[in-house]
Amino acid sequence: MPRAGLNEEAVVTAALAVVDRDGAAALTLASVAALVGVATPSLYKHVGGLAELRSLVANRVLREMADVATAAVLGRSGDDAVTVLMRQLRHYAVEHPARYAAMPADPQHDPALANASGALIGVFAATLRHYALEGSAAIHAIRCLRVIVHGFSSIESSAGFGMAESPDDTFSHLIEMYLSYLHNAQEQ
Amino acid sequence: MPRAGLNEEAVVTAALAVVDRDGAAALTLASVAALVGVATPSLYKHVGGLAELRSLVANRVLREMADVATAAVLGRSGDDAVTVLMRQLRHYAVEHPARYAAMPADPQHDPALANASGALIGVFAATLRHYALEGSAAIHAIRCLRVIVHGFSSIESSAGFGMAESPDDTFSHLIEMYLSYLHNAQEQ
DNA sequence: CTCTAAAGCTAATACCGTTAGCTTTAGAGC
DNA sequence: GCTCTAAAGCTAACGGTATTAGCTTTAGAG
C-alpha cells in the first residue's frame, strides 16, 4: 500500500473541501480521513485532534479573508476603499457560505486565531485611518464596520433573506449608511 | 423508583438550563437526561431526538425574543420605539449569550421555527410602519435593522469586542446610524 | 545496503444518539 | 377500593465518533 504523503497543510485543505461539500457541521475526522484515503487515527500524525483541526480551518479562512480585504483596499482610499472592502468581504462569505459558518463565534478567544484575526482587523483599521478619527472614535468605527459586514454576511450566507428584494440593494443601503456615519464622525 | 413526570416543555426547559450552564455546543441528550434524573432513551418519549430538541430550544428562544421585542415597542413609536427595541434585543442577547448562540444560522429554513421567526420580524415591520416606507424600501429597512442587531449581538455575546471602549457607546453609534438612515429613506 | 524516524495501520476504549422491547407506574373507569 | 390500560421509564444493543496505545512498514539519510 503506497503512502499518502500527507502533512498538516494537506489535511487542512481536505477539511476545507469537506466543509465546502457537506457543510461546517459535517467536518469530522472520519470524513476527512475518508477523503484523503487514510484511516482516521492516522490523521493524529499531522493534527492534534478535531478541535485543533477546526481551529486550523478557521485560521485558514481568516487568512483568506484578510487576503481578500488587503487586495480590496490596495491602491484605494477613503469611501472607495471602504466600499470595495465591504463588497469583497461580503462576496467571499457568499461564495463560501460553509467556510464562513465554520468560523467559531469567538475567534479572538482562540490563541491560534489571534494573528489572522488581528490581520483582518488591521486592514479595517488601516482603511479607516484616512478619516483621521481620534481615540475611541476610531475604535467605534472599526466595530461598526465589523458589525455590518459580519451581520450581513452571516444572514446572507445562511439564506436568511427570504423576500424577493435583492440583497445587493440592501447591502448598498448599508454601505451608504456606514459612509454617512463616517463622514459625520469626521466632522466632530 | 418514583416517576419524573416529564413532558416536552419540561425537557426543553432543562435543555435551556444546560445551554445556559455549559454552552450551546454542550447541549446533548445525555446531559439533559442527567439533569432531569432520567435515562437518555427516556427522553424520546417526549422529544423526537437531538435535532428536534435543538429546534424546540431555538423556538423557545425566538419566542422569548419576540416577547422582548413586543414589550419594548408597546406604547412607543418612531425613533423612541426603534431605539428601545434595539436596546432590549441586545440586552437579551447579552444576558443569555449561550441561548443566542444556540440558534441555528438559518432559522427560517426550519419549518418549526417559521412562526416564531415570523413573529419577531413582524414586530420589526410594525415598528417601522411609522416611517411609512413604500414597497421595497420597507423591506430593506427591516433587513438593515436585522443586520445591525444580529451582527452586534452575535459579536458581543461571544465577547468579540476586545478593546477597552464600552460596547454601549458602539451600540449607541449604531442606533444613531440607523435612525439617520431611516430619516433619509423617509424623505424619498 | 542498512538503519531509523515517521507515516500509516489495527485494536481497543469511551461517549454519544438511536432503536427495540420489557417493566412499572399513574390514573381512568367501574 | 380494584382492575386495567396507556404511557413513562428502564435495560440491552448497535452504529458512529474521537482518542489512545502499540505495531508494522515505508521512505529517505548515510
- pLDDT for position B2: 59
The pTM for the full model equals 0.94
pLDDT band at A113; cut points 50, 70, 90: very high
State the average pLDDT for chain A: 96
Cβ proximity of A138 and A188 under 8 Å: no
Residues in chain B: 188
Q: What is d(CA B82, CA A11) in angstroms, rounded to the nearest whole number?
A: 48
Interface test with A, best of B54, B143, B179, B182 (most A CBs within 10 A): B143
Q: B109, A158: Cβ pair inside 8 Å?
A: yes
A124 at the B interface (CB within 8 A)? Answer: no
pLDDT band at A2; cut points 50, 70, 90: low
DSSP single-letter state for residue B75: T
B34/A105: higher pLDDT: B34
What ipTM was assigned to the predicted interfaces of this complex? 0.93
Mean pLDDT confidence for B51-80: 98
Q: What is d(CA B45, CA B43) in angstroms, rounded to the nearest whole number?
A: 5
Interface test with B, best of A166, A177, A184, A187 (most B CBs within 10 A): A177
Above pLDDT 70, what percent of chain A? 99
Interface test with B, best of A27, A100, A143, A156 (most B CBs within 10 A): A143
Contacts of B146 in chain A (CB under 8 A): 151, 155, 160
- pLDDT for position A110: 94
Nearest CA in chain B to A177: B181
- pLDDT for position B4: 74
State the average pLDDT for chain B: 96
pLDDT band at B187; cut points 50, 70, 90: confident
Query: Is the pLDDT reported for residue A123 higher than 60?
Result: yes
- pLDDT for position A72: 98
Above pLDDT 70, what percent of chain B? 99
| B132 CB inside 7 Å of strand C | no
Residues 47-66 of B with CB under 7 A from strand C: 49-51
Query: Is the pLDDT reported for residue B51 higher than 80?
Result: yes
Q: What is d(CA A57, CA A61) in angstroms, rounded to the nearest whole number?
A: 6
Among candidate residues A144, A32, A29, A167, the one with its CA nearest the CA of residue A93 = A167
pLDDT band at B157; cut points 50, 70, 90: very high
Query: Is the pLDDT reported for residue A1 higher than 70?
Result: no
Give the residue nearest to nucleotide C24 (CA to C1'). Answer: B1
- Nearest CB to B181; choose among A140, A150, A177: A177
B22-43 pLDDT, tens per residue? 999 999 999 999 999 999 999 9
| B39 CB inside 7 Å of strand C | no
Mean pLDDT confidence for B162-186: 97
Q: What is d(CA B93, CA B90) in angstroms, rounded to the nearest whole number?
A: 5
pLDDT band at A4; cut points 50, 70, 90: confident
A52-100 pLDDT, tens per residue? 999 999 999 999 999 999 999 999 999 999 999 999 999 999 999 999 9
Q: B165, A136: Cβ pair inside 8 Å?
A: yes
- Distance in Å from C30's C1' to B4's CA comes to 28
pLDDT band at A188; cut points 50, 70, 90: confident
CA distance A2 to chain B (A): 39
- pLDDT for position A20: 98
- pLDDT for position A115: 95
3-state helix, strand, coil in chain B (%, to 5): 75, 0, 25
Contacts of A128 in chain B (CB under 8 A): none
Q: What are A54's three cell numbers? A: 477546526
**Other residues' Cβ atoms within 10 Å of the Cβ of residue B172:** 15
Query: Is the pLDDT reported for residue B91 higher than 90?
Result: yes
